[in-house]
């Protein structure tokens, strides 16, 4: 099967949920008081600035370099990021639910402290199984998310052979697309995850060379600095052992 010529993935801009969750984690709280369901959390003002900076980066690409299509997570913060970033570029966007964020099940809206205090058995179970395979009740493991990403990328290769595709997703999306694009092992992925806090509206890209995708950028925020948009980072809520 022919490879894509170019693949990019952008994490959504800072959301109001990112701000609330970070405050809860640093404040030592057990619960995160986000009023919306996860799919309906919007961008913050800073997140909108970051998305517009991505738009400036896209507008600066030549016609031979610009993505031919964008695939977007259905979550509001991701759709808002794509809408702002793609405005005026002429790049068509398609929403695909397989790019949605990882579902946390019973861990949803709990901080790391909250999981340990309220669900000690789950805290111990995820420590035993690790981030890659641990599946919280009602939620997904990283391996589960990979199943839907594999299916999506297979379809993209079929529908856009030799094409240029840009994804708008979430923190886990960025790390797991790298796992797939570079054929990493579980251990290699965990090493990257341990060392990396994926920035909001960061850009990660791979280009075809010698019939495989080779990395160009990873977690780059140079475009944010260039446009004067503040970079922000927040590690995955309920951070798990890596």
The 3-class secondary structure across the chain, one letter per residue, is CCCCCEEEEEECCCEHHHHHHHHHHHCCCCECCCCCCHHHCCECHHHHHHHHHHHHHHHCCCCCCCCCEEEECCCHHHHHHHHHHHCCCCCCEEECHHHCCCCEHHHCCECHHHHHHHCHHHHHHHHHHHHHHCCCCCECCHHHHHHHHHHHHHHHHHHCCCCEEEEEECHHHHHHHHHHHCCCCHHHHHHHHHHCCCECCCEEEEEEECCEEEEEEEEECHHHHHHCCCCCECCCCCCCCC
pLDDT average, residue stretch 163-180 = 98
| Sheet with strand 6-11: strands edge to edge | 93-95, 69-72, 164-169, 6-11, 203-209, 212-220
Q: Give the integer Cα–Cα distance in Å for 140 and 132.
A: 10
pLDDT average, residue stretch 13-39 = 97
Residue 100: pLDDT band by 50, 70, 90 thresholds?
A: very high
For 212, residues 6+ apart whose C-beta sits below 8 A from its C-beta are: 3
Q: Tens of pLDDT along 203-225?
A: 999 999 988 999 999 999 999 99
Query: How confident is the model at residue 77, as a pLDDT?
Result: 98
pLDDT average, residue stretch 21-48 = 97
Query: How confident is the model at residue 242, as a pLDDT?
Result: 34
Query: How confident is the model at residue 211, as a pLDDT?
Result: 85
Give the residue among 109, 173, 185 at the shortest CA–CA distance from 145: 173
Measuring CA to CA, how many Å separate 220 from each of 68, 196, 203, 226, 240? 21, 11, 5, 12, 24
Query: How confident is the model at residue 210, as a pLDDT?
Result: 86
Angle between helix 142-159 and 171-181 (nearest 10): 60
pLDDT average, residue stretch 115-135 = 97
Residue 94: pLDDT band by 50, 70, 90 thresholds?
A: very high
CA 135 to chain centre: 18
Residue 137 has pLDDT above 50, yes or no: yes
Residue 235: pLDDT band by 50, 70, 90 thresholds?
A: low
User: Are the beta carbons of 222 and 60 closer than 8 angstroms?
Assistant: no
Query: How confident is the model at residue 118, as a pLDDT?
Result: 98
pLDDT average, residue stretch 98-103 = 98
Tokens (6 digits) for 22: 């970070």
pLDDT average, residue stretch 168-192 = 97
Residue 110 has pLDDT above 90, yes or no: yes
pLDDT average, residue stretch 45-60 = 98
Q: Tens of pLDDT along 142-151?
A: 999 999 999 9
Query: How confident is the model at residue 3, as a pLDDT?
Result: 86
pLDDT average, residue stretch 165-170 = 98
- Three-point CA angle 188, 12, 65, nearest 5°: 80
Give the residue among 147, 117, 132 at the shortest CA–CA distance from 31: 117
CA 76 to chain centre: 13
Query: How confident is the model at residue 233, as a pLDDT?
Result: 82
């Amino acid at each position: 099967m022919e490879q894509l010529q170019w693949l990019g993935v952008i994490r959504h801009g800072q959301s109001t949920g990112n701000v609330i969750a970070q405050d809860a984690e640093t404040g030592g709280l057990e619960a995160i008081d986000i009023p919306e369901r996860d799919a309906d959390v919007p961008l913050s003002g800073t997140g909108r600035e970051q998305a517009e900076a991505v738009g400036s980066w896209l507008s600066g690409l030549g016609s031979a370099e610009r993505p031919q299509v964008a695939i977007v997570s259905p979550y509001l913060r991701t759709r808002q990021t794509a809408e702002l970033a793609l405005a005026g570029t002429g790049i068509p966007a398609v929403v695909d639910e397989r790019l949605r964020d990882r579902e946390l099940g019973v861990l949803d809206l709990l901080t790391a402290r909250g999981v340990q205090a309220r669900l000690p058995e789950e805290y111990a179970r995820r420590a035993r199984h690790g981030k890659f395979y641990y599946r919280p009740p009602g939620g997904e493991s990283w391996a589960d998310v990979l199943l839907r990403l594999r299916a999506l990328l297979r379809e993209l290769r079929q529908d856009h052979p030799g094409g240029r595709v840009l994804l708008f997703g979430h923190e886990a999306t960025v790390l797991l697309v790298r796992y797939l694009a570079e054929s990493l092992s579980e251990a290699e992925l965990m090493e990257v995850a341990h060392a990396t806090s994926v920035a909001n509206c960061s850009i990660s890209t791979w280009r075809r060379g010698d019939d495989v995708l080779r990395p160009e950028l990873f977690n780059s925020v140079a475009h944010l600095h260039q446009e004067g948009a503040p970079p922000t980072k927040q590690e995955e809520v309920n951070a798990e052992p890596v």
